[in-house]
Amino acid sequence: MTAMGRREFLAAAVAGGASALLPDWARGAGAWRDRTSSADARIEVLLDEPIGTIAPEIYGHFTEHLGGVIYDGVWVGEQSKVPNIGGVRRALVEALRAIKPGVIRWPGGCFADSYDWRDGVGPRERRPKRTNFWADDPRFKDLGDIPAKYDPNAFGTGEFLHVCRLVGAQPYLAVNVRSLSARAFDEWLEFCNAPAGSTTWAGVRAAAGDRDPYGVRFWGIGNEAWGCGGNFTPEQYAEEYRRFTTWAVPRYGVDLAFIGSGPSGGDLDWTQRCFAALAERDALNGMWGWSLHHYCSADGAGADAVAFDDRGWYELLAGANRMESLIASQWQEMGRRDREHKIKLVVDEWGAWHKTAPLVDASHLFESQSTMRDALVAGLTLDTFNRHADKVAMAAVAQLVNCIQSLFFTHGDRLVVTPVYHVFAMYAAHQDARAVRTVWSAPQVSWTNEKGEPQALWGLNGSASVRDRALTLTVTNPALAAARETEIAVRGSTIASVRATTLAARSVHDVNSFEHPDVVRPATADVAAHGPSLGYTFPPASITKLEITLAG
């Protein structure tokens, strides 16, 4: 395809001009009509250049027995005054179901490698109480015997599968490699997937009311095996991975997908050495996914979740944007042994982990308020996954509720959704659609770091996907003050209609609270547009979804 010249592009943009109906707070957002174009940015959507299908599992979540994630966040118990469905917080189920969660990962995280799944099955009143992996965190010192210190095991495998069924997500279980045996893993598979009546563990499941096997497909073999998951060397972990996954694993007709414990951030040595040791015994053949974890944070006056400075805004976004190079470098390293790239990336922990954060509840370890800064971290990360739909098969934002980059906060019977939730709601349209290549051009945003060195980040970025005649284009504008007038050209079709949903806030420090739950929320408006292109102004510090109906 030949690129349209700038003059031709501008002419088309004016001819296909449009008007916007967005609210005042969007500060100049919207399409142009009868205006002289002063666009300094352009986006080209190349419909004939598919990347791959965007796996719904990319839109995944993570629930660890950590702080207030499970107990309080997800599980309130059947006897609770908090409205619940079989013990699971009803408001959370309803809000989560609405954004189509592709997958949910459980029970950890670091917790997983201390967890015995057998403690969490069978009659609840007979389940043992165990020390939680996170029990020694000094913040719990004066909080008594809370579940974050001593796990009552009321929430186990059956309860987790119940949550997955309620919200329509696939389950993704993390296997304890550090402190349980391969045999215990086989038996967990048996509990989950063996037909009723066939084995003792299947009988335990059936006795709790689940006759039908769960058919769990996704299994993470350990977590952060280089750290809390056993402090293994790559070669030692490869040996454990082989022991847990080869030959004798019972399948019960399920196409099991094993996920190896990959590196933190950009550690290529871990991947190189694990893959070499696995290839030596032909064990890469059975691997479905290779995990990658990436958390970002800002320093100095940017470190706080809410009271960050401008530099902290940009530094956090730049930190999140590292996902692009992490995917590229891991993918390249994986390809050295897996030449056909059968093994995909599973980014099963990602998010903004702020160094300081005002706590909503002291027992909610790593709970952190969420602003537009976190929303942009989510938007640009999901866009990165979409642009690499051929490489990333699954991902999970850390964590779903009351922890790190959450979609929800809960307290008692109250629940509030964060700006991050709204991003997932907007981006759900990408799931199962065909990602197509996009070309972006916009002036960079720039700032100086604490040492006074100049730094820069792209001025506009995003992703596009198509399903039948529906084109979804999601766009992040990271500039704190500048709206971005942009020419959008759709190559390979013409625009019949456009609807814009914009997430922005009066202040980038605004948060949603129990008292004021709707301070940051998206607004949707129709945009009158037709033709091969569209002029659109993206407000500063915003995320926009353009739902474009193609003419044919």
How far apart are CB 223 and ligand AHR at their closest, in Å? 5
How far apart are CB 42 and ligand AHR at their closest, in Å? 38
Compare residues 63 and 501 and give the one whose CB is closer to ligand AHR: 63
Compare residues 187 and 224 and give the one whose CB is closer to ligand AHR: 224
Compare residues 223 and 271 and give the one whose CB is closer to ligand AHR: 223
Annotated catalytic, 224?
yes
Q: In the beta sheet, which residues pair with residue 106?
A: 173
Out of 240, 349, 367, 485, which one is annotated catalytic? 349
Judged by CB under 6 A, the chain residues 233 through 292 that form the site for ligand AHR are none
Spatial separation of the C-alpha atoms in residues 151 and 148, rounded to whole Å:
6
Spatial separation of the C-alpha atoms in residues 117 and 157, rounded to whole Å:
7
Question: What type of residue sits at position 7?
Answer: R
CB contact at 8 A, 317 and 457: yes
CB contact at 8 A, 308 and 447: no
Judged by CB under 6 A, the chain residues 394 through 413 that form the site for ligand AHR are 398-399, 404
Question: What type of residue sits at position 531?
Answer: G
How far apart are CB 418 and ligand AHR at their closest, in Å? 16
281: its two tokens: 């015994």
How far apart are CB 212 and ligand AHR at their closest, in Å? 31
Question: What type of residue sits at position 6?
Answer: R
Distances (CA, A) of 105 to 120, 258, 259, 450: 16, 13, 12, 37
Spatial separation of the C-alpha atoms in residues 507 and 495, rounded to whole Å:
33
Compare residues 223 and 363 and give the one whose CB is closer to ligand AHR: 223
Spatial separation of the C-alpha atoms in residues 448 and 315, rounded to whole Å:
9
List all residues 6 or more positions away from 247 whose beta carbon is below 8 Å from its beta carbon: none
Spatial separation of the C-alpha atoms in residues 347 and 296, rounded to whole Å:
14
Pick left, alpha or beta for residue 155 (phi over 0 → left; psi -120 to 50 → alpha; otherwise beta). beta
How far apart are CB 109 and ligand AHR at their closest, in Å? 3
Compare residues 177 and 389 and give the one whose CB is closer to ligand AHR: 177
Among 151, 159, 315, 349, binds ligand AHR (CB under 6 A): 349
Q: 99-128 mask for ligand AHR (x: CB under 6 A)?
A: ---------xxx------------------
Q: How many residues bind ligand AHR (CB under 6 A)?
A: 10
Does 177 sit near ligand AHR (CB under 6 A)? no
What is the 3-state composition of the chain as percent helix, strand, coil, each rounded to the nearest 5? 30, 30, 45
Compare residues 95 and 404 and give the one whose CB is closer to ligand AHR: 404
List all residues 6 or more positions away from 261 whose beta carbon is below 8 Å from its beta carbon: 177, 220, 221, 222, 223, 224, 225, 226, 229, 237, 241, 291
How far apart are CB 444 and ligand AHR at their closest, in Å? 31
Out of 64, 159, 187, 224, which one is annotated catalytic? 224
H helix and E strand count, the chain? 10, 26
Spatial separation of the C-alpha atoms in residues 196 and 67, rounded to whole Å:
35
Among 57, 159, 210, 224, binds ligand AHR (CB under 6 A): 224
Does 223 sit near ligand AHR (CB under 6 A)? yes
Residue nearest to ligand AHR (CB): 109
Q: Classify 76 as helix, strand or coil.
A: coil
Compare residues 359 and 496 and give the one whose CB is closer to ligand AHR: 359
How far apart are CB 36 and ligand AHR at their closest, in Å? 50
DSSP string computed for 269-319: HHHHHHHHHHHHTTTTTTEEEEEEEEEE---GGG-BSSS--HHHHHHHHHH
Q: Classify 183 as helix, strand or coil.
A: helix
Q: Classify 64 as helix, strand or coil.
A: coil
Q: 308-347 mask for ligand AHR (x: CB under 6 A)?
A: ----------------------------------------
Compare residues 222 and 478 and give the one whose CB is closer to ligand AHR: 222
Judged by CB under 6 A, the chain residues 64 through 103 that form the site for ligand AHR are 64
Compare residues 228 and 504 and give the one whose CB is closer to ligand AHR: 228
CB contact at 8 A, 260 and 253: no
Annotated catalytic, 49?
no
How far apart are CB 108 and ligand AHR at their closest, in Å? 5
How far apart are CB 207 and ligand AHR at their closest, in Å? 32
Which residues form the catalytic set?
224, 349
Binding site for ligand AHR (CB under 6 A): 64, 108-110, 223-224, 349, 398-399, 404
